[in-house]
Amino acid sequence: MTPTANPADTGHITSKLSTLDRFLLVWILAAMALGLGLGRLIPGLGQALDSLKVAGVSLPIALGLLVMMYPVLAKVRYNETGRVIRDRKLMITSLIINWLLAPAFMFALAWIFLPDLPEYRTGLIIVGLARCIAMVLIWNDLACGDGEAAAVLVALNSVFQVVAFGLLGWFYLQVLPGWLGLPTTSAEFTIWSITLSVLVFLGIPLIAGFLTRSLGEKAKGRDWYEGTFLPKLGPWALYGLLFTIVILFALQGDAIIAKPLDVARIALPLLAYFTVVFSASMLIGLSFGMGYPRTTTLAFTAAGNNFELAIAVAIATFGVTSGQALAGVVGPLIEVPVLVALVYVSLWSRKFFSNATTQKVTS
């Protein structure tokens, strides 16, 4: 990682990225195409991959996410997270956007774009309730956000996810539609499935990252750890991301290809959601004077969603062939390329932050 403090260098950031980072969007689109092609060309591949589960958790997807998250969490300086916890402005703003504004916005988009398709509408609302605890760390890292802030906000989202997901699902699917005179939807979300998602997709890589940082620095010092070890470990995060995308789209390729018009209708509100929530969060951080690193972290933790949880909940509640499950699957189809593009938008926006502090550029 190469530090820089000069905002004038913003236009040259992408030239400092590795080939893997610089062409990430190309690799992601290729991984999506590969996954769709494999799922389409190899009969029974999707069913075979889907059968590899333990307690409802897909082992191939879990493997990809763990490989993806571990290097990012190994970068976090855990002894510096205290300063983030003391930043009440960041913490409160993140909670308000993630658990009040973003779910309400997705509810509105679902009803505006899909008033005649209740299954897809319900699936979108579930996606809006599943706040991101995994891929956001990748986007934040690529955009030179605050790694310590990302770790704290992701942990905070995880706690609220266990506590609030079921309650908000009941509110947005039954209570609020009833108040507005709209049709309601019955759905039961088990606390176990939500807790398991948090434990697997955050707990394991978080503990591994913390132990790696602690033991590595203790054994050979911070200079060796950050200058020698992390550059070798870093690329594995993107390898894990690409592997996850291939598996995800191999699993759901038939559903996506079989209903292209339905996918397009689901994609429109998702596209609006990701871009509006990200842009609004960036503007809020800028107006509050949070500085570029924390504003970027705020924006990505608000715009991203926990697609694995949304898909798992939709399948468990409504069935694997349901419209709700398809809406969950379309989530990462739109989210991944859009948020990769927003990484570059975020880097470009650095010139608007006059109080920019020392930045981290992904090596």
Q: What's 158's domain CATH number?
A: 1.20.1530.20
pLDDT on residue 211: 92
pLDDT on residue 305: 86
The amino acid occupying position 110 is A
Q: Is residue 144 situated within a structural domain?
A: yes
146 phi/psi in degrees, rounded to 5: -85, 110
Of 84, 306, 74, residue with least CA distance to 205? 74
pLDDT on residue 189: 65
- Whether 342 contacts 282, CB under 8 Å: no
Q: Is residue 6 situated within a structural domain?
A: no
Q: Is residue 11 situated within a structural domain?
A: no
pLDDT per residue as tens, the chain (363 positions): 333 334 444 444 455 556 666 677 788 788 888 988 887 787 777 677 767 776 666 788 778 878 887 887 888 788 777 877 888 899 999 999 999 999 999 999 999 999 999 999 999 999 999 887 767 878 898 898 998 898 889 888 878 887 788 888 889 998 999 999 999 887 666 667 667 767 777 778 888 888 998 999 999 998 999 889 988 888 888 888 888 878 877 876 666 777 788 889 999 999 999 999 999 999 999 999 999 999 999 999 999 887 777 877 777 677 666 788 788 878 877 888 888 889 989 999 988 886 444 443 333
Q: How many domains does the chain have?
A: 1
pLDDT on residue 163: 79
For residue 42, give both structure tokens.
């190899």
Q: Is residue 330 situated within a structural domain?
A: yes
Enclosing domain of residue 111:
18-356
Q: Is residue 181 situated within a structural domain?
A: yes
pLDDT on residue 354: 62
The amino acid occupying position 221 is G
Q: Please tell me the pTM assigned to this model.
A: 0.77
Q: Is residue 13 situated within a structural domain?
A: no
Residue 104 to residue 140: CA distance in whole angstroms: 24
Q: Is residue 35 situated within a structural domain?
A: yes
Find the helix packing angle between 118-129 and 323-348, rounded to 10°.
Answer: 50
H/E segment holding residue 4: strand 2-4
Q: Is residue 66 situated within a structural domain?
A: yes
Residue 296 to residue 47: CA distance in whole angstroms: 38
Residue 70 to residue 64: CA distance in whole angstroms: 10
